[in-house]
Amino acid sequence: MAFKPLRLVSNEDLKSAVIANSQTITIGDAITPAATSSAGAVTGATGSYPVVGIVVSIVGANGQVLEKSAVTVASNNETVGIIGVQYIPTYIPMEYSATLSNTAGVTSYSKLPGMFALSTQALLDETSWTVYSTVKQFFSFGVDPLVPTQVIGHFTPTTGQV
């Protein structure tokens, strides 16, 4: 799992959204607003848009949790299939164990606490770490001592989120 929450979260804190057409989403993925959606759908994070949350379940059109860890939706999902996700919004205080694209510290400062990184759908880009940035949203407490390709940290709330 790319982003694994390190504590339980209340169902009242979870949000739901429809998956954008022709997308593949996995539990643990970071999600962003879909740029071409008119239905308010979400897609996997690319680093181009703010991360709105981390997927914790896949749901059917009626909101029932589907027993799937990943799903690829059809090209008409926003209007016909209506498969969606439940997610933990980034404004909820939550620490995550997050997978890096490479072993921490190979090409950047990713092993240091207090650094920010850019998130893609399933990974933190190991080459993108910086001391401070308004674009990079994941704040690290440092590398997981048991897994050198993972860090512990949290998402900083996106500007404009409530």
Convert the pLDDT of each residue in 115-148 to its tens digit.
Answer: 877 777 887 877 777 776 556 678 889 888 878 7
Residue 162 lies in a domain: no
pTM > 0.85: yes or no: yes
What is the total count of domains within the chain?
Answer: 2
Is residue 101 domain-shared with residue 80, that is, in the same domain? no
Q: What is the separation of C-alpha 86 from the centre of its chain, rounded to a whole number of angstroms? A: 12
Q: Give the pLDDT confidence of 34-56 residue by residue, as tens digits.
A: 887 767 899 998 766 788 999 99
Range of the domain at 151: 96-155
Q: Mean pLDDT highest for which of 32-36, 92-96, 158-162?
A: 92-96
Kindly state whether residues 73 and 104 are assigned to the same domain: no
